[in-house]
Amino acid sequence: MLRTALTVALGLAVAPLPALAATAPPAASAAPPPATADAPRGFEVRDLVSLDRVSDPQVSPDGKRIAFQLRETDLDGNRGINSIWLVPADGSAPARRLTAKGVSSSAPRWSHDGRALYFISARGGGGPQLWRMPIDGGEPVQATRFALPIGAYALSPDGRHLAVAFDVFIDCAADLACTKQKLDERSASKQTGQHYDQLFVRHWDTWKNGTRSQLFIARLDAEGVAGDQLTWISRGITGDVPSKPFGGDGEWAFSPNGDRIVFAARTADRSEAWSTNLDLFIAPIDGSRAPENLTAANEATDTAPVFSPDGRTLYHLAMKRPKFEADREWIIARDLSTGAAREIAPEWDRSPSALMVSRDGRTLYAIAQSMGQRPLFAIEVASGKVRDLTGQGNVIGASIAADTIAFVADSLAGPAQLFALGARGGNERRLTDFNRERLAHVRLGDFEQFSFAGANGETVHGYIVKPWNLAPGQRYPVAFLVHGGPQGSMANAWHYRWNAQTYAGAGFAAIMIDFHGSTGYGQAFTDSISGDWGGKPLDDLKLGLAAAAAKYPFIDANRACALGGSYGGYMISWIAGNWPDGFRCLVNHAGVFDTRAMGYMTEELWFTEWEFRSPVHDDPTLYEKWNPANHVSKWRTPMLVIHGALDFRVPYTQGIAAFTAAQRRGIPSEYLHFADENHWILKPHNSIQWHDAVKTWLKRWTAPGAPSAP
């Protein structure tokens, strides 16, 4: 169960993760501070942005090799660059690079015979297309030359067909050149206005331009290269396949014999912006029949389809409550001949993702948050018995073929690595060792999970990451991290935006509370925040800080700053007016300031309408009850506000409003604006700027002798 440096008994020293392969050190202008073996140092943002990131493991059909994606940071180019790597599943040799360094290649997928790997790359100069690389030597061959960039793809089990998604104008159908011509004409026009007659107008960080992601089938020739002819499979569905903004090939599944495909879609009618009703459709790959809706009776989300090996049963995930994006995901087995459906493991109170099936069809595999961890689970189809295969840590991707499971996992102890184990568990082996040299002289903070009696006397869990330089008798300031969601978790995971080790490396004790509403503790616990944004969660945060201060004598709770993003940013504004004496300073990233305005400004309206039990215009009661804007008169704690202009989930005007409130109150405050970032801060140099600004703010107000709130 992750018995490596990635997992350490809670409370024991945490060793940094080593690495077999490492990229060149970052540019001198952004280099981490120097260290020697005799002078270790704490972890900081320049380490964070330079780390190699392992993801997307793919097991070869015979189970003997694993391809995966590695993201390396190009600091000069201010971007990440992906490449494809290969490693034997038995760990008999180190991982080796397959695609050229410096040219981004992503989404590796095996050919049906295991003799080649497909991947997406723009190396041809015409935008992202599909390439095919012989696995035992030879140069990649361009496998598609479509007029539009590929969004996502999947290969049929027999290797004869390719499922591929493009953003197209629906009236252009399968004529990709038609869509390209329209986009080119629009780009060349001096008229820039865009008309809309329904929502979405914008989504996540992109203004809608009238195109829809649609699913097509292309035939592959004997060399594995696609022709120009496309069959429009999602014809008649004016939604996005895969779904926007984060959908991918996990929303599709070919039947075992390759003659049918199942895909998820949400119809883009006038209710799209307040609907979570994704349905599963099945269609023949030759387009001879229109897609059939398999889940029309369920008005909530249906997704993540996977066929049984014999093709008779479709397994998928389903929610039961429309408009609730954080509802429990139930595992459904659907008989494709009769339409009968049953729940698998209905007593298992977890919300799984990424379904996979064993080759004998007896076991399903899924990743799910559980008690501050995110393991890989095995679920027996017949009995519903559930086993945890990986234990502590955070599994972020997995695949299975033959009798081999590959998975990528990280933890608070360090960034992700690749692992393999047998299909029934056991014989776990770690296959990669990236970042060893980078972290050789970095000392990470020890960490442990703790629990306490939270709101209503119910058990609540949290984590503490101790300062890297913890010394007996010393007391340390606190970075109190509040997670977003609000249905989320600051679990035993390695984060690239809210990484507790960056605070431990700066000499802080980082405390993270999984308050009521957090995921991984049962659906009732998750449900408890809806309609109660500022109630039980605030109680938990107060009780959690007090419990940590009582348990850990090295904590100086009188020198604490609270910081959070999204809902965590909401909570910072709520704390400002409802716990004004709790902290020396606050950091509010992409936070909701005015819940009533948010109900009209955000793009995915199902979010606010579920959380506050109504559209604003029907009943604003809860919007106003939990509205931070109504408590500004009590604000007095110094606040740093940060926001990105491309954030359409929590629009940047919410951040400006919070900053305006603090300024008008005469409270020490600063506003950091990123014109080129969305809800997250993604560019490496912007991440460095973000972390430097936050660290400077925290140290300013928590330094010995620093002034308290006015």
Amino acid at site 653: T
Question: 584, 594, 591: which is closest to 569 by C-alpha?
Answer: 591
H or E segment to which residue 502 belongs = helix 500-504
Classified as helix, coil or strand, 565 is strand
Distance of CA 701 to the CA centre of its chain: 32
CB-based contact 261:233 (threshold 8 Å): yes
Buried b (16+ CB within 10 A) or exposed e, 143-182: bbebbbebbbbbbbbebebbbbbbbbbbebebebeebbeb
CB-based contact 573:592 (threshold 8 Å): yes
Write a three-state SS string for 244-272: CCCCCHHHEEECCCCCEEEEEECCCCCCH
* Candidate list 104, 213, 566, 573, residue with the active-site label: 566
Classified as helix, coil or strand, 382 is coil
- Cα separation, 85 vs 56, in Å, equals 11
Q: What is the DSSP-derived secondary structure letter of residue 239?
A: S
Burial class of residue 637, CB neighbours in 10 A (0-12, 13-18, 19+): buried
- HSE toward the beta carbon, residue 689, CA cutoff 13 A: 14
Is there a catalytic annotation at residue 673? no
63: left (phi over 0), alpha (psi -120 to 50) or beta: left
Quote the tokens at residue 382: 């017949």
| Alpha carbon separation from 313 to 76, 78, 332, 497 (Å, rounded) | 50, 46, 10, 40
Quote the tokens at residue 36: 């020697």
- Cα separation, 120 vs 70, in Å, equals 13
Q: Which residues contact 300 (CB under 8 A, 6 or more apart)?
A: 276, 277, 318, 319, 320, 321, 322, 323, 324, 327
CB-based contact 493:2 (threshold 8 Å): no
CB-based contact 373:387 (threshold 8 Å): no
* Candidate list 203, 589, 679, 691, residue with the active-site label: 679
- Cα separation, 210 vs 196, in Å, equals 9
Burial class of residue 259, CB neighbours in 10 A (0-12, 13-18, 19+): middle
CB-based contact 316:304 (threshold 8 Å): yes
Give the strand pairing for 41-42 and 442-443: parallel
Q: What's phi and psi for 360, nearest 5 deg?
A: -90, -5
* Candidate list 249, 302, 527, 647, residue with the active-site label: 647
Is there a catalytic annotation at residue 195? no
Question: 568, 529, 553, 574: which is closest to 650 by C-alpha?
Answer: 568
- Cα separation, 265 vs 234, in Å, equals 9
Distance of CA 139 to the CA centre of its chain: 33
Which residues are marked as active site? Answer: 566, 647, 679
